[in-house]
Amino acid sequence: MKSIKNHLYRQSQPSGLWFIGEISENRDFYPKMDHLVCFLSGSLALSHLNGLDENGEHLEMAKKIGQICHKMYQNPTGLGPEIIHFNIENRTEDVSREDSYVKSLDSHSLLRPEAVEAWFYLYRVTKDPKYQEWGWSAFEAIEKYAKVETGGYSSIDNVLRKKVRRRDKMESFFPAETLKYLYLLLTDDQEILPLDRWVFNTEAHPLPVYN
């Protein structure tokens, strides 16, 4: 985490939003963040929950990464794109410039679970209802744009267009993870699978914690 903070944790311009970037093979910093990276927010929330976050720094990072993951969903369809890019140069003369943007080649949505997973952990740790609100908005967008009338849900070619084109393909992680984390985030019974007694593996399968 120290290395991530020192080398990958940067702020966008002009609003100073925190995100996790990448380092290329030439050691250049590349201001892009895959939807997959949203998992880190949940891991940091778990770090706080399990007493590994002495000064609260991990939880603050978790909140900021969870926030930028929510920003990924702020587009015409409300679905998360595969990758988001950030502006990191401070150009005071360009007042209309946005902090982030989505390239057309990265605008597809596979209905990935990592953002919802992060909001689930953040809600369990903080009890802040905004994470449930974000999850519900994502669910409504999935129902509106990804649901197939004959059954199932489909990946979307471009989240920036309300007239969506479906890929006729549903990833296995969508029912296994995305829907599971949405249920756990939104259910009234938050005692289901308490995090001091259960741990979720990479594919969201709950495993009991043995003393």
- The residue among 200, 160, 196 whose CA lies nearest residue 178 is 200
* Catalytically annotated residue among 22, 57, 82, 93: 82
Does the annotation flag 202 for ligand binding? yes
Q: What is the pLDDT of residues 79-129, one digit of tens each?
A: 999 999 999 987 655 556 799 999 999 999 999 999 999 999 999 999 999
- What CATH architecture does domain 1-208 belong to? Alpha/alpha barrel (1.50)
pTM (two decimals) = 0.94
Nearest to 110 by CA among 81, 76, 136, 74: 81
Helices (H), 57-178: 57-72, 114-126, 130-145, 173
Instruction: Please state, in angstroms and rounded to a whole number, the distance separating the CA atoms of residues 185 and 159.
Output: 23
Name 42's Cβ contacts closer than 8 Å, sequence gap at least 6: 62, 114, 117, 118, 120, 121, 122
- The reply to whether 82 belongs to the active site is yes
